[in-house]
């Protein structure tokens, strides 16, 4: 690792690294990825063990505090989160300003940003107590906002949080309500959604987390920073990929069309990419994709959908792609988004809500990184440099002199 900052101070040398392929923007103790080996650790704990033994709220506590909670710490954390699940009544009017067919991510960008208009304590980010309270509010209120965005889009009245239910059960009830009401009582389906949230909870300096850090580096409040993360996540190269994967599978339709789409993905004159494949850091199987594939089996079995044609198509697409020279040579493997859409769809979550579900899981990672940065007394405003490639200095001609 070369300390470019020291080199810059000594000799003015700075690095040109578009896309930050080889630049660390910060030090962090939260998440470790070994992309070559396909290893992902949250605070040192393997993702496989967390997905098996912990709930999303335990993992949230871990990401925020550095250690898994004791039972007492967990109970207290759950109590705090549960206390904050309701939205201020005036915030619920915001939804009426949107068209019913607005994309839920557009609504989330607006409503999450608007939280800073309601909780003025968040503007004083020097207070650790205020920062902790903002983190709790974010974990508590995002599921309510996601569910309300959906209910609004289909013209149904909002369902308010029920504090006697667990975090995921409560969300499923608010989001799905009728006709899938019983889903929040099914432990296999609840566990599946909980696992999706765990797998999406953090992934070190991905585009949206880096965006949150950059926005936060100026001292902006946490809700404003989270909004910038949500906006960044929306893109199809990032969190929008789960939605794009499902649309791609529906478009491919049948396994006999797979080879045609693989050829398109390999054709450099065709902008088509195999969605849910490839990753900036993983040059091996994304460990989250493995867990997600296993979750797919569990959910489809539970719902009696063993023959789900889309899942079969996805498995076949993966099999063929992983035997293809192009994908082998470029080390393109399924990423977390490849199978998550199939699970979400089976749970009754509509395709246009998939990225909002990703945002729900990632919110805790965003706020953990934001807090880690603000807690570091040496953090600086993020200010990348550029390589100027424009015109050299030249005179301004009056409008009549210009050709
Ligand atoms: N299909 C076909 N070819 C691909 C794919 C793909 N999905 N992904 C990468 N490649 C090729 C590129 O064309 C490039 O080929 P080249 O060397 O001949 O030019 C090479 O592999 C390297 O790709 P880059 O785009 O340079 O890799 P980068 O690290 O910048 O991009 C990304 C990573 C954005 C994830 C990319 O693999 C992609 O677009 N995948 C599809 C979208 C997707 O699934 N996104 C979700 C990412 S995970 C997440 O956000 C949770």
Q: How confident is the model at residue 179 (pLDDT cuts 50, 70, 90)?
A: low
- The three-class DSSP label of residue 390 is coil
CA of 279 to the centre of ligand 1 (A): 6
The protein residue with its alpha carbon nearest to ligand 1, atom 41, reads 275
Q: Which residues line ligand 1 (CB under 6 A)?
A: 19, 237-239, 241, 265, 273-280, 330, 332, 335-337
Q: What is the pLDDT of residue 303?
A: 93
Q: How confident is the model at residue 3 (pLDDT cuts 50, 70, 90)?
A: confident
Mean predicted confidence (pLDDT) in 125-130: 94
- Whether 133 shows a pLDDT value over 90: the answer reads yes
Q: What is the pLDDT of residue 181?
A: 60
The protein residue with its alpha carbon nearest to ligand 1, atom 39, reads 237
Tokens at residue 368, please? 């953990």
CA of 276 to the centre of ligand 1 (A): 9
State phi, psi for 31 to the nearest 5 degrees: -130, 140
pLDDT tens profile 238-288: 888 888 999 999 999 999 999 999 999 999 999 999 999 999 999 999 999
Q: How confident is the model at residue 306 (pLDDT cuts 50, 70, 90)?
A: confident
Query: In this prediction, what percent of the chain has a pLDDT beyond 90?
Result: 88
Mean pLDDT of the chain: 94
pLDDT tens profile 157-178: 999 999 999 999 999 999 988 6
337 is catalytic: yes
The protein residue with its alpha carbon nearest to ligand 1, atom 27, reads 280
For residue 28, give the nearest of 216, 228, 197, 202 by alpha carbon.
202
pTM over 0.95: no
CA of 99 to the centre of ligand 1 (A): 34
Q: How many CB atoms lie within 10 A of CB 79?
A: 10
Top-confidence residue, 170 or 5: 170
Mean predicted confidence (pLDDT) in 49-67: 98
pLDDT tens profile 358-387: 999 999 999 999 999 999 999 999 999 999
Tokens at residue 20, please? 């930050």
CA of 323 to the centre of ligand 1 (A): 18
Convert 165-230 into a string of H (helix), E (strand) and C (coil): CCHHHHHHHHHHCCCCHHHHHCHHHHHHHHHHHHHHCCCCCCHHHHHHHHHHCCCCCHHHHHHHHH
The protein residue with its alpha carbon nearest to ligand 1, atom 17, reads 330
For residue 355, give the nearest of 138, 158, 169, 104 by alpha carbon.
104
260 is catalytic: no
pLDDT tens profile 92-112: 999 999 999 999 999 999 999
């Amino acid at each position: 690792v070369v300390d470019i900052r020291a080199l810059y101070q000594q000799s003015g040398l700075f690095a040109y690294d578009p896309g930050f392929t080889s630049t660390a923007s910060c030090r962090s103790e939260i998440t470790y990825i070994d992309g070559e080996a396909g290893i992902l650790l949250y605070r040192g704990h393997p993702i496989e063990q967390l997905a098996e033994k912990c709930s999303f709220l335990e993992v949230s506590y871990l990401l925020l505090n550095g250690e898994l909670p004791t039972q007492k710490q967990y109970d207290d954390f759950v109590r705090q989160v549960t206390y904050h699940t309701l939205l201020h009544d005036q915030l619920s009017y915001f939804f009426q300003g949107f068209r019913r067919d607005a994309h839920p991510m557009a609504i989330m960008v607006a409503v999450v940003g608007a939280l800073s208009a309601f909780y003025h304590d968040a503007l004083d980010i020097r207070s650790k107590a205020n920062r902790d309270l903002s983190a709790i509010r974010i974990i508590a209120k995002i599921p309510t906002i996601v569910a309300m965005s959906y209910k609004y889009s289909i013209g149904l009245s909002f369902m308010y949080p029920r504090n006697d239910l667990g975090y995921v059960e409560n969300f499923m009830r608010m989001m799905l309500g009728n006709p899938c009401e019983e889903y929040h009582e099914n432990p296999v389906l609840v566990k599946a959604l909980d696992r999706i949230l765990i797998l999406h909870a953090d992934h070190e300096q991905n585009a949206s987390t880096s965006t949150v850090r950059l926005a936060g580096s100026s001292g902006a409040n946490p809700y404003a920073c989270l909004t910038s993360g949500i906006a960044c996540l929306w893109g199809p190269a990032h969190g929008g990929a789960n939605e794009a994967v499902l649309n791609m599978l529906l478009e491919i339709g049948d396994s006999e069309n797979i080879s045609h789409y693989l050829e398109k993905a390999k054709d450099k004159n065709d902008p088509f990419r195999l969605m849910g494949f490839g990753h900036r850091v993983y040059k091996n199987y994304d460990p989250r994709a493995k867990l997600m594939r296993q979750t797919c089996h569990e959910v489809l079995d539970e719902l009696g959908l063993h023959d789900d044609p889309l899942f079969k198509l996805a498995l076949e697409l993966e099999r063929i792609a992983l035997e293809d020279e192009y994908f082998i040579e470029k080390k393109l493997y399924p990423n977390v988004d490849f199978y998550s859409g199939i699970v979400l769809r089976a749970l009754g979550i509509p395709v246009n809500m998939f990225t909002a579900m990703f945002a729900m899981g990632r919110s805790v990672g965003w706020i953990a990184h934001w807090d880690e940065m603000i807690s570091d007394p040496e953090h600086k405003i993020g200010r990348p440099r550029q390589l100027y490639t424009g015109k050299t200095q030249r005179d301004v001609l009056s409008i009549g002199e210009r050709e």
